[in-house]
Structure 1
Amino acid sequence: MTTEHDIQNDIRVAVSRAGCTIIRTNTGRVMTKDKRMFDAGPPKGWPDLTGFRHSDGKLILIEVKNERGRLRDDQKRFAEFISQYPVLYGVARSVEDALKIVEG
């Protein structure tokens, strides 16, 4: 089975070649000097890849899953929320899926 990380890297290359800028949406949790935990990055449920299409500036948001991956509840809520806006959003399990998303 292909890992989501490998699929994500292949998608980043292909989408970039298709006239888009795309980055991995980094998240993490760190401890501050005064021992508090700090969540870095976007809110829970935000997709793995964020970018824009050069031809028209449309926002691209891609959630990457492998063939057995499922959306978490927070990811489902995000998908429902973002559907009301004119952005290019979708779940991609392959480069082909991602290219369909960016083609709109």
Structure 2
Amino acid sequence: MIQNKIRVAVSKADCTIFRENVGKVRMANGRMFDTGLPRGFPDLSGFRHSDLQVFYIEVKNEKGKPREDQKRFHQRMMQLGVIHGIARSPEDALKIVKLGLVGYGWSEYDDT
């Protein structure tokens, strides 16, 4: 799975990285559980140990396209200048994190 390969590669690059789960599920007792994260939140987030800079990574396969809620998250991160991008490989993720790229992989989806 590409997401796990990305997590391992970024962890080895002197970073802490977390997998984010977004959504709601019905528990065995019938209650709904909500992760609390907003729709569109990226698959992975973390920080570089060297300077504590936060980053967000949306993981997509070679054909995957971002949803509208993901585009809205991206647009806000662009406004704030936060490190984030779309990674289709561990190499993409390392580029985003190591170079501190803002919006990597999003250009073909930007409507602005």
Common fold by TM > 0.5? yes
Cα pair 2:14 2:48 within 8 Å, conserved? yes
CA contact under 8 A between 1:26 and 1:41: conserved in structure 2?
Answer: no
- Report the RMSD for the aligned CA atoms in angstroms: 1.8
Matched pairs, number:
99
Structure 2 residues without counterparts, runs of 5 or longer: 101-112
- Alignment partner, residue 104 of structure 2: none
Q: Which moved more, 1:67-76 or 1:19-28?
A: 19-28
The structure whose RCO (Cα within 8 Å, separation 6+) is larger is 1
User: Superposed, which structure 2 residues align to 1:71-86 within 5 Å?
Assistant: 71-86=66-81
- Alignment of 1:95 with 2:82, yes or no, is no
Question: What are the Cα deviations for residues 56-80 of structure 1, in whole angstroms up to 9, with x where unaligned?
Answer: 0011100000001000000011100
Offset of residue 43 of structure 1: 0.1
Uncovered stretches (5+) of structure 1, i.e. residues with no partner:
1-5
* Distance in 1 between residues matched to 2:13 and 2:27, nearest whole Å: 40
What pairs up with 1:1-104 in 2 under 5 angstroms? 6-31=1-26, 37-103=32-98, 104=100
| Structure 1 residue 84: Cα displacement | 1.8
Query: Normalised by the size of structure 1, how large is the TM-score?
Result: 0.85
2: CA distance, partners of 1:55 / 1:100:
15
- The aligned amino acid for 2:2 is I
2:22 aligned partner, one-letter code: T
Percent identity at matched positions? 61
Q: Give the C-alpha shift of residue 51 in structure 1.
A: 0.5
Alignment check: 8 A CA contact 1:29 1:39 kept? yes
Report the TM-score, using the length of structure 2 for normalisation: 0.79
